Structure 1
């Protein structure tokens, strides 16, 4: 998806390649699984009374963003004839796709590239919801998904990957989404968390976080790890050696990230935790994403080591931050993406870029990498991308959320009573587990959104049960 991910220019006509098309379509399905895995990952880290709302948000992101992508998202993001800032409406309503290749993917049908990129657009705003867990209303989140995708994701991604994007034109190297996916969602998560404010029991949770289902975290990590191989490998938009190299790099960085995280945690707690390992894996994957198709396998170990280590330090420093990032989106995705972009400017190599070119291509026609190739401007360009993407995503997200808060019925945060009850019951009228249901023991039905239902509940930790009643003459015992 970067300028170096393809081996032709828009003017060159290359026959559709069945192998490349099959690989990209398979990668599309793999990246789709990542959003499902993210739901399990986030749900497991949250408390039980908020678990279902996070699963819902991940699934509804698929629906809302897919419609936006068909409507105008893909066109604004990848129009080859747009300006340096944003695309036009050449592809609105998915027009002019079909079998015509896109300049970024000249050996596959444009429809296949549309689908693959749609999966990236889906998971990006979904990542930001991790910072807002346990206190956000769901209905405004639907509007946020649609508008944010248009005014933040589409514009930033155009800068980075569109043929006329200004950051791509300056020589930015971002193979699979360090800037448009991880950094844009990570800083948007900060803006969302600031606007919402901290959870009512935030101080207690800093000292005693209570993920309700570590098995979900394990399952979510496994699905994310699996899908990430397609996320980065599919970004070659061809079944070639560079795609294989991106997968090798991604896997090794994930392994090292998980190992370094548990080692660093063990120094303090003398425990090897599954959550620590899983978080380190995600940090390693987020860090290697921008460089996965630019660096050697030896360099990928450095990405996992530095990314996992520094993200771990930021997570441990979170008590000093002024915002409540509930599930460490900023510490893992933003910091990981930032580190990965800088390291890509250092370790990117022409020898790896050449893997997507025919073997007889003259060496001087293959783009240079980073500092290892003597291209000293590489890191400054990467830093420029970090500053511009961070600024745009934060301020536009902040303004969008403030605007939504002023619209009647679109206030972003649940009430204190609803937060205590749990967003599952207060926002959805459903719960993830039967024992959390107010009338689970009796099987009776109620209007869970009514004031009477709310008043009949007692919330103790993660357990929601009917309020105990005083004995009455007609009842010898009560629950």
Structure 2
């Protein structure tokens, strides 16, 4: 056991866990005041449900020996109920238990990302049912394709092993996967009441919360990407440096697009640009140099800033720009590995600009669009089936009056019954 690497993975797991409230605040600040608790509840609720699924069969389906050696799905019985995970293997660099906890948060956050696209209009019970089915049918197989490496006597997933595509920390399995799923659910669920081209049904109610959430996500992302090195090493150090670098340039890239297009740069744009950079660098953080990360982040920030406007052109109501940031940002970062990758980086593969030809770019494209197609098609079927059976959407009056009060019997802010302070009695004067 490498105690240093184990300590790094324990710390990285804690950092990734901080991304849960970070995502809840980031999303919560962007919705209307009447919907903020529902958004936070959908985030935390999906994390709780996926955590339970992960222990029972999720980890085994993702990281068990590939059934039939096909690289499609892991053996669900191998680690069922986390059997064998607590065993101390002296030959392992880190305990299997910390790896299982680390990857559990990846699964939970991937599902939680989707809820930002469908705010204000989905039943909470329907969202929880969707989350459980989606993680089982969509996320677990894709995680096996991308994250399960071949080992001694163990067969892993087809994208990482047979295809040889590079995805250091989840550009395909997390961001393209959740972005494509978000688009599919949007098309089944429909637009919010009053959604229109001029800016959506509701404006963000608390931009400081958005900025705080983005900052927590940025902080936690060092564990998300750096922890994917699985060791306390030079690889983890390069990944952390690239993650910071790309996020900085992406924020500036987004703000520049805003300034040129709209005449002003916004705090919402700064927060969104940071997230776009984090998304874009996720698959490529171990494949590019710091200068490459700088270029990749700037491209990712600018492309995502332009992509969020596509919903108005094509008429799909992506409430909090999950498609524009996670799907488009994930595709951008994944494909740019094939362009900006350098053999000097930890992944050790040259892309097009470093004389590597088109081979790596082709592999990246196959991996990215295979995940996109699988996730979109299966998610559409799941959403359609749930809509036909239990119904996905709340009643119009619930949507208009606010889902917080109707679905959770709570309000985030008590604005109708202000408390009155009783005057403090004056102290008695002696004599």
Tell me the equivalent position of 1:91. Answer: 79
Is 1:182–1:337's contact at 8 Å kept on the other side of the alignment? yes
Tell me the equivalent position of 2:214. Answer: 221
Tell me the equivalent position of 1:5. Answer: none
RMSD over aligned Cα atoms: 1.9
Larger mean CA deviation between 309-318 and 132-141 belongs to 309-318
Is 1:102–1:113's contact at 8 Å kept on the other side of the alignment? no
Tell me the equivalent position of 1:419. Answer: 399
1:299 matched to 2:280: no
Tell me the equivalent position of 1:255. Answer: 248
Shift of 1:246: 0.5
1:370 matched to 2:351: yes
Residue correspondence of structure 1 range 44-55 to structure 2 within 5 A: 44-55=29-40
Task: Give CA deviations for 1:61-85 in whole Å, capped at 9, x if unaligned.
Answer: 2210000000100000011353311
Correspondence for 2:373 among 391, 403, 409: 391
> What 5-or-longer segments of structure 1 have no aligned partner?
1-15, 355-366, 444-479
Task: Say if 1:301 and 1:427 are closer, same or farther in 2 by CA, change over 3 A.
Answer: same
In 1, the alpha carbon distance for the partners of 2:305 and 2:202 equals 16
In 1, the alpha carbon distance for the partners of 2:219 and 2:90 equals 27
In 1, the alpha carbon distance for the partners of 2:197 and 2:168 equals 40
Larger radius of gyration: 1
In 1, the alpha carbon distance for the partners of 2:64 and 2:396 equals 45
Correspondence for 1:41 among 26, 50, 54: 26
Is 1:31–1:119's contact at 8 Å kept on the other side of the alignment? yes
Tell me the equivalent position of 1:152. Answer: 138
Correspondence for 2:159 among 147, 163, 167: 167
Shift of 1:406: 2.4
Tell me the equivalent position of 2:309. Answer: 316
Task: Say if 1:397 and 1:100 are closer, same or farther in 2 by CA, change over 3 A.
Answer: farther
Correspondence for 1:177 among 170, 175, 186: 170
Task: Give CA deviations for 1:362-396 in whole Å, capped at 9, x if unaligned.
Answer: xxxxx534332525311111111122101110111
Tell me the equivalent position of 1:463. Answer: none
Tell me the equivalent position of 1:429. Answer: 409
Shift of 1:147: 1.2
In 1, the alpha carbon distance for the partners of 2:28 and 2:89 equals 39
Tell me the equivalent position of 2:62. Answer: 77
Correspondence for 1:268 among 261, 268, 275: 261
Secondary structure at the aligned position of 2:94 is classed as coil
Tell me the equivalent position of 1:446. Answer: none
In 2, the alpha carbon distance for the partners of 1:250 and 1:102 equals 32
Task: Say if 1:18 and 1:329 are closer, same or farther in 2 by CA, change over 3 A.
Answer: same
Task: Say if 1:370 and 1:98 are closer, same or farther in 2 by CA, change over 3 A.
Answer: farther
Secondary structure at the aligned position of 1:87 is classed as coil
Is 2:200–2:319's contact at 8 Å kept on the other side of the alignment? no
